[in-house]
Amino acid sequence: MGRVTVRRPVVTYARRTSRKRVDALAAEEPLELRVGGKALTVTMRTPGHDVELAHGFLLSEGVIRGLEDISVARFCEGTGPDGLNTYNVLDLTLADGVAPPDTGVERNFYTTSSCGVCGKAALDAVKLKTHHSPADDRSTVDVDVLTALPDELRKRQKVFAATGGLHAAGLFTATGEALVVREDVGRHNAVDKVLGWAVLNNKVPLAGTVLMVSGRASFELVQKAAMAGIPVLSAVSAPSSLAADLAEEQGVTLVGFVRGDSMNVYTGHHRITA
């Protein structure tokens, strides 16, 4: 399986002096996702939890609703310079009766680690309709729980601690209990891995949960939360205007700038208690 970190020699400069040392970098490798043997997308990701990533991606794209919609997930053969399998091609077989992805899901060649919707074949396909709407979720979250989540997320970012180069996404209960945390060079991949964990553990829809992300809250992250039925999306940094618009439309509580004992609630403030 691909490595999560890679060691590389560097020269460090400080106070006009230099020294040679070895640094740890977050690994980034391509992963080609296939459905029924047909290439669907190539994404740049941190190796690991790839089956989760694939299930989460298909859930967030509206291809599947849950674990029962996938019959088989297997890595295809493919070797690197060392002759070993790269595990960089993953093929999923949909269950009988599940419609294959339409052309709106297909990517124009590849998705970078920084963008979850780049290369959509049609702009109209970007906005998807969820099968697990969070709009009627009556769960509430206390302010103190939300302001504590960034620290709880950071405690579980083992690879970030070693490299400083990864995004993180964590799924928490409304009382602050950590269910799963995943890291990746791509913020959307980290979220897909979390959603894929939920799919594989038959926990979708994710009612009464909070999705905490280490960076900003973008349109595609709100969309992924809505597709999984997550009622609250909380971010360390700012949301975009389109993220706020979509959160309001889908009934997602959107929280940003969660730092220290403060935060901003952009939509769905009725779920926040103090």
Q: State the Cα–Cα distance between residues 125 and 93, nearest whole angstrom.
A: 22
Catalytic residue among 24, 39, 115, 128: 115
Name the residue with tokens 């940003």: 256
- CA dist 122 and 108 (Å) reads 10
CB neighbour class for 45 (10 Å; exposed up to 12, middle 13-18, buried from 19): buried
Strands 272-273 and 141-142: parallel
Is 157 within 8 Å of 183 (Cβ atoms)? yes
* Among 185, 160, 172, 204, residue whose Cα is nearest residue 68: 204
Catalytic residue check, 115: yes
Active site residues: 115
